[in-house]
Amino acid sequence: MVTRKKSGLGADPFKSQPNLGIFSPTEPLTQGDDQDEDSTPLTVGIAKIVLPQQQPRRYFDPAKMQQLVASVRHHGILEPLLVRPRDDSYELIAGERRYRAAKDVGLTDVPVVIREMSDQEALQIAIVENLQREDLNPLEETEGIIALLSMQLQIEQQEVSHLLHRLAKASDNVVGKDREQLDLINAVFDVVGGMDWKSFASHRLPLMNLPKPILDALRKGKIEYTKARAIARVKDTKKQEELLDKTISQTLSLAQIKEQISALKAEKKPEDDANSLKEQIDDVLRLARLVKRSRVWEDPQKRRKLEKVLAELQSIVGDTN
């Protein structure tokens, strides 16, 4: 059952913000529209609200969720959830943290604003709502911006990074389709705020290529993205994971992480040299197999050099003393 609730729960957070521009799920109000009546939140049974299949946010900080639960228990839901009608239920568009907190507290009814919108509009609003939260971690923020750019540019998400890198290398005087795409990109970052697209391409896109353990730690808010990028420079997987664990357990600063990396580079164990030498020999042997099919055998001088090198190698390998 849907009922009017005229308590001070606030107006629709999206309808009153024309700056959302291309992301607004509704048309601007026309003369004669009853804005006050339309903006009054309703209450619906929480059991009738379902989560969308595609959710832009995947991680919720447990400590911050507990703080929200305590607030909801004491004050109730102060800002309505945004939903859209789906058959005999309502699909949640924005306000998943409040929804989860309300369920934890045991509320049976919650305030909502109901809007008709398409699948794409619903996903855009959900992403924008998440991006405007202060507690969103850098990885989810990066994923959200890529998703928005993908929808606005009508290209696959994996193509977004290629486009941004290409535009960053081009001159500022882009024309034609590039100019149209750049205008859309700037519109997205005007909505998101906090950074421009060039900074995003330089500092945020590289996060998507981080090793999985580092990505997981970053997603859960255990490390900052500057630390994540620094740790990823350690190529040895075992040492990289050890440094990651140490960073989290000891709360190492970025400067301390760099010191640790410098110390790792300074370490040079005999077995490391041996492994490197073995790799070089393997490379030479692979090259030798190619030499068999080359014209090197037609050059007497090169052939004599090869014979000399082979004799030295046989002498070294055959010396067991």
Contact by Cβ (8 Å): 210, 228: yes
What is the per-residue pLDDT across 74-127, written as a single tens digit (0 to 9) for each?
A: 999 988 999 999 888 999 998 888 999 999 999 999 999 999 988 888 888 888
- Percent residues over pLDDT 90 in the chain: 28
Question: Is the torsion defined by CA of 247, 253, 258, 264 positive or negative?
Answer: negative
* Contacts for 193 with CB less than 8 Å, ≥ 6 apart: 132
C-alpha dist (Å) from residue 34 to 16, 27, 37, 157: 13, 14, 6, 39
Angle subtended at Cα 32 by Cα 31 and Cα 38, rounded to the nearest 5 degrees:
110
Is residue 27 predicted with pLDDT exceeding 50? no
Is residue 45 predicted with pLDDT exceeding 90? yes
What does the mean pLDDT of the chain come to?
A: 78
pLDDT band at 33 (very low <50, low <70, confident <90, very high): very low
Spatial distance between the Cα atoms of 152 and 18, rounded to a whole number of angstroms: 18
Contact by Cβ (8 Å): 39, 12: yes
User: What's residue 28's pLDDT?
Assistant: 32
User: What's residue 21's pLDDT?
Assistant: 34
Q: Does the domain spanning 3-118 belong to CATH 3.90.1530.30?
A: yes
The type of residue at 90 is Y
Q: What is the mean pLDDT of residues 36-43?
A: 60
User: What's residue 195's pLDDT?
Assistant: 83
Residue for token digits 């998101």? 192
What is the per-residue pLDDT across 190-230, written as a single tens digit (0 to 9) for each?
A: 877 778 899 899 888 888 889 999 999 988 888 988 899 99
- Entry pTM: 0.58
DSSP-derived secondary structure for 249-293? HHT--HHHHHHHHHHHHH---HHHHHHHHHHHHHHHHHHHHHHTT
User: What's residue 252's pLDDT?
Assistant: 94
Q: When comparing pLDDT for 177 and 36, which is higher?
A: 177
Of 75, 73, 92, 76, nearest in space to 84 by CA: 92
The alpha carbon of 154 is separated from its chain's Cα centroid by a whole number of angstroms, namely: 19
Q: When comparing pLDDT for 282 and 104, which is higher?
A: 104
Q: What is the mean pLDDT of residues 160-172?
A: 84
User: What's residue 306's pLDDT?
Assistant: 78
Counting DSSP H helices and E strands in the chain, the numbers are 14, 6
User: What's residue 131's pLDDT?
Assistant: 78
User: What's residue 56's pLDDT?
Assistant: 61
Spatial distance between the Cα atoms of 241 and 303, rounded to a whole number of angstroms: 48
What is the per-residue pLDDT across 130-142, written as a single tens digit (0 to 9) for each?
A: 777 766 778 888 8
Contact by Cβ (8 Å): 91, 84: yes
Contact by Cβ (8 Å): 319, 313: no
- The helix (run of H) or strand (run of E) holding residue 81 is strand 81-86
Of 204, 187, 128, nearest in space to 153 by CA: 187
108 SS3 class: coil
Contact by Cβ (8 Å): 18, 24: yes
Q: What is the mean pLDDT of residues 46-52?
A: 91
What is the per-residue pLDDT across 55-64, written as a single tens digit (0 to 9) for each?
A: 666 677 788 8
Q: When comparing pLDDT for 318 and 141, which is higher?
A: 141
CATH 3.90.1530.30 maps onto the chain at: 3-118
Rg over CA atoms, the chain: 29
Q: What is the mean pLDDT of residues 142-165?
A: 89
Spatial distance between the Cα atoms of 167 and 175, rounded to a whole number of angstroms: 11
